[in-house]
Amino acid sequence: MPDILIKNTRIYHNNSLQSAEIIIEDGKVTRIGKDLRVSSSDMIIDAGDALTLPAGIDVHVHFREPGMTSKENWYTGSCAAAAGGVTTVIDQPNTVPPTTDRRAFEQKLKLARGKSIVDFGINGGVTGNIEKLEELWKLGITAFGEIFMAESTGGLNINEETLEESLAEIKRLGALATIHAEDEKMRLELEGLLKGDISYEYHSRVRPNACEAIAVQKALELVSKLKVRAHLCHMSTLEATGIIRKEKYLARRENKEPLFTCEVTPHHLFLSTRDWERLRSFGKMNPPLRGSNSIKALVNGINDGTIDMVASDHAPHLESEKDVDIRVAPSGVPGVETLMPLMLAAVRKNILPLSRMIMLTSWNPAKAFGLDRKSKGRLEVGFDADLIIVNPRELRPIKAEFLHSKAGWTPFEGMEGVFPEYTLSRGEVIWIEESINAKPGRGNFLEGRGERSEEDEEDLEETGETQD
C-alpha cells in the first residue's frame, strides 16, 4: 500500500514540465508516471496542477546551537528551513564551543538529533587544530569549514600558513574544504585608513571587491597546488566570478573536472549597496553588500554554470543586537526560510530558468557534498521523497511576522517570494497549510564520507550534554 500518492501535479522531466503522479513508499519515491493505478493509499495529495520539485538543500547555515540559542536553535532553525522548502541543511562550526574537536562535535550532534525536524550534516572547524582533523573526519562531519581567511563571527580566522597546512591534511583525508575567502591583510589596512568613516557603507568599503578577489585567487592557487577538493562560500563580486569562470574553463579545456565548486547567497543576488539606506546596520554581513555590476555578474554566473549552487548563509542575530553602530553590529542575516521562495520568484520573473534553479538548489549541492550517495537531491525513483509542492503563480510579500527564525526580522521584508504549500522530508509532510507538522528530533544525521564507527555511537549514547 503506497504511503502517499501525489496527483494532479507537474514535474520537471526531460527538459520540460510534464503532468505526473508520484507514489511514495517508506520515504522513497517508488513510481512516477501518469494515471498510476493504486488500490489505496495512506494519504492522497491533490496538487491542483501545482509543481512538485526537489526540496532545497542548504549547505551553509548557522543554527547557533550550542552557545548562542537566544539567536536560534536547532528546532527553530529547522522549522524555518521546512517552512521555506528546505529539507537538508549543513551547519557551520562557529558555535560556542566551536566544532573543532570530538567533544564539541558530539555535543552539537546530540542537540541536533534531539531538535531538528530536517535532515542535517555538521561541518568541522579549522583553526590551529590540524591534529584533530582526522578525528573529526572519522566522526562523520560533512566537510571542513567554512575555513575563515579573514575575521568574522566566532573569530576562527587563520593565517595563510595554517591554511596551507590544513588543506594538505584535508587532501590526505580525502575530505572537502569549504573556504570563506576574504583577504585579512587588506581588511586590516582599510580598517585603519577608514576609521573616520561613520557611514553604513563603511562595511562595503572596508571589505571591497578586491578583498574577495585576492583571497579567491590565493585559495585556488592552493587548491591547484595541493589537488584538494574545495568549495568557495558566498561569492559576491564581479572579479571573483571572473576568476572562477577562467579556472573552470582552463580545467575543462584539459578535459578535467574542476577541483572546486562555489556558492552564492540570495542576499548577494537580490540586495545591493543601494539597500544600505533601508537596512542600515541590519545589512551588515561578510562578505558585504555589493554594487550593481557584481549583481549582474552573479546572475550571469548562476545561469551559465560558473556558480554551482545557492546557499543561504543563514546567520541570525536579534534585532537588538543588529540595531547598533555599524562597526560593532554583528555580521550576518537570516535567510534559510527565504532561499527557495526568492529563487522560485526569480524563476517567475525570468531571471533564470526552472531547470537551472533545480540544479542550484538541490542537484548540485547534493553532488558536491556527497549527499547524492544518501539518496538526496533528485526527484527520481529510489531517491528520498524530499519534495516541495508550489504554485509558481502565487507570489506574495515576505513578512518577518510570518517567518520562523528566532531573529524576528528579514532583510527581504516586502520583497516577493513563492512559498511552498507542502514540504515533504523522506515522505513525511512536515509543512502543510501554513503550519509545521513535525516533531523535534525527526531529522536524520547525514554522516560524511569519513563516517562514524559503532564505538563512536556507543560513546555518544553514554555521554553528551543538553542545552536549551
- Sketch out the chain's domains with CATH numbers: 4-46 (no CATH), 55-378+393-414 (3.20.20.140)
**Is there a binding annotation on residue 13?**
no
What percent of the chain clears pLDDT 90, i.e. is strictly above it?
A: 90
**Is there a binding annotation on residue 63?**
yes
Average pLDDT taken over every residue of the chain: 95
Q: For the residues 66-79, what does the mean pLDDT come to?
A: 98
pLDDT digits (tens, 9 = 90+) for 204-257: 999 999 999 999 999 999 999 999 999 999 999 999 999 999 999 999 999 999
d(CA 330, CA 250): 38
Catalytically active residues are 313
pLDDT digits (tens, 9 = 90+) for 376-409: 999 999 999 999 999 999 999 999 999 999 999 9
Q: For the residues 76-102, what does the mean pLDDT come to?
A: 98
Q: For the residues 355-365, what does the mean pLDDT come to?
A: 98
Q: For the residues 143-157, what does the mean pLDDT come to?
A: 88
Reported pTM:
0.95
d(CA 11, CA 358): 11
Q: For the residues 70-91, what does the mean pLDDT come to?
A: 98
**Is there a binding annotation on residue 234?**
yes
153 pLDDT exceeds 80? Answer: no
Helices 454-462 and 102-115 meet at what angle, rounded to 10?
Answer: 80
pLDDT at 1: 46
pLDDT at 15: 87
**Is there a binding annotation on residue 203?**
no
pLDDT at 464: 44
Within 10 angstroms of residue 328's Cβ, the number of other Cβ atoms is: 9
Q: For the residues 419-425, what does the mean pLDDT come to?
A: 98
pLDDT at 458: 61
